[in-house]
Amino acid sequence: MPIRTIITPDNPVLRRKAHPVRDFKNPALQRLIDDMIETMRAAPGVGLAAPQVAVSQRVAVVEYAPGSEDLPESAEPPPPKLYVIINPEITARSEEQIEGVEACLSIPGYVGNVLRHRAVTVKAFNRQGRPIKIKAQGWLARIFQHEIDHLDGVLFIDRATKVWKAQPSDVGPE
């Protein structure tokens, strides 16, 4: 499983709406997913969308331990859960929105304040093509919204109220 190159906004693929996946049995799709997981972990990041590796398909991977953001620094975080979402759509959003600091593997060195829904419900397909439904809140909901934005050609800097050069203490998805 090779680590793929993460593209930046100068590559037009990052700004286009990605194409839906139609063939879940295609070995190239499964290789893409495996490569994306490896690339996300190596970056390191908590999410990666196919357009970020120059593939215009509606595929994203997320790996995050829900609840870990609320733990004291000395606590052992829970093991992260891996999500593979294909052709995802947000079917429900909380009215409440929360501003949080986000980063992006495709925009290295910068972070920004982004207003996102506190909770979302995501309908998608897993890597075998079976329908899944994920109810997420907090940082996990933020990560899903960030990755689904990538599938629509939207970057966090498009939604940010403020963007700045990252400092070591700045934390947030991706």
Q: pLDDT tens, 114-124?
A: 999 999 999 99
Q: Max CA-CA distance within the chain? A: 45
The answer to pTM > 0.85 is yes
Q: Beta strand pairing status for 110-117 and 97-103? A: antiparallel
If you ran DSSP here, which 8-state letter would residue 129 be given?
S
Report residue 170's pLDDT band, with 50, 70 and 90 as the boundaries: low
Does domain 12-165 sit in CATH 3.30.110.30? no
Beginning with the edge strand found earlier in the chain, give each strand of the sheet holding 162-165 in spatial order: 97-103, 110-117, 162-165
Give the best-scoring range by mean pLDDT among 75-79, 95-99, 162-166, 167-171.
95-99
3-state secondary structure of 109: coil
Q: What is the pLDDT of residues 23-66, one digit of tens each?
A: 999 999 999 999 999 999 999 999 999 999 999 999 999 999 87
pLDDT at 22 over 70: yes
Q: 3-class DSSP state for residue 137?
A: strand
Which residues are identified as catalytic?
Answer: 147
Q: How far does CA 126 lie from the centroid of its chain?
A: 15
Q: How far is CA 116 from the centre of its chain?
A: 13
Mean pLDDT confidence for 11-21: 97
Which ranges of the chain would DSSP assign to H, the alpha helix?
A: 27-42, 138-151, 156-159
